[in-house]
Amino acid sequence: MHKNKFRSYHNISPILGNAVYVDETAVLVGDISLGNDTSVWPLVAARGDVNKITIGARTNIQDGTVLHVTRKSTANPNGNPLVIGDDVTVGHKCMLHGCSLGDRILVGMGAIIMDGATIESDVFIGAGSLVPPNKTLKSGYLYVGNPVKQARVLKESEAAFLKQSAINYVELKNEYLADSY
């Protein structure tokens, strides 16, 4: 393991579940927890410095993604931690900032999800979409655009792909882990 990819902040260091893959070019700082079978790919930057980042099991955070949080303040006593559920696929070069994502979600490449947004489970977010602060995306739909709008109900095949995408990345990270030993 590359020594500098995990950094403590105020004596709090990232905590990893079992069979986790974190690429040596990724940087994880502070109060971050990764669930079992999670993967973090090249050039991901995650800072759990002024609040906590929690990532569930079998979730994959793809290349170039930035994960951050909102600090606690008088106006917002809890701030906005970043919470990502199980079986979530976060596409390449996304920005997730102080938001909450349920389970079985696909965040398309280059999407931005802002502070206080809530993404319910079983959602597809199209590439390049912008989810504004404090917006809630309801379960079972495809959302696209800037700002994001509900496009349509997910097709059965798309809903099935949400789980399959997570499985595909568990298998891929297992290959990477096997190659590194």
Domain ranges of the chain: 3-179
Q: How far is CA 35 from the centre of its chain?
A: 12
- Looking at the predicted structure, is the pLDDT value of residue 1 above 70? no
- Spatial neighbors of 27 by CB under 8 A, at least 6 apart, are 4, 5, 7, 44, 45, 46
- Considering the segment(s) 3-179 as one domain, its CATH architecture is 3 Solenoid (2.160)
pLDDT value at position 4?
72
114, two tokens: 């802002």
Residue 167 has pLDDT above 60, yes or no: yes
> Measuring CA to CA, which residue among 89, 101, 65 is closest to residue 158?
89
DSSP 135: -
Q: Write out the two tokens for 121.
A: 């489970």
Q: Give me the long-range contacts of 8-11 (CB less than 8 A, separation at least 24).
A: 9/47, 9/48, 9/49, 10/49
Q: What is the pTM of this model?
A: 0.95
Per-residue pLDDT at 169 = 97
pLDDT single digits (tens) 89-146: 999 999 999 999 999 999 999 999 999 999 999 999 999 999 999 999 999 999 999 9
Question: In the 3-class helix/strand/coil scheme, how is 72-93 assigned residue by residue?
Answer: CCCCCCCCECEEECCCCEECCC
- Cis omega before residue 147 (within 30°)? yes
Give yes or no for residue 153 having a pLDDT over 50.
yes
Euclidean distance between CA atoms 33 and 122, whole angstroms: 22
Does the pLDDT value for residue 3 go beyond 80? no
At 59-76, the pLDDT tens digits run: 999 999 999 999 999 999
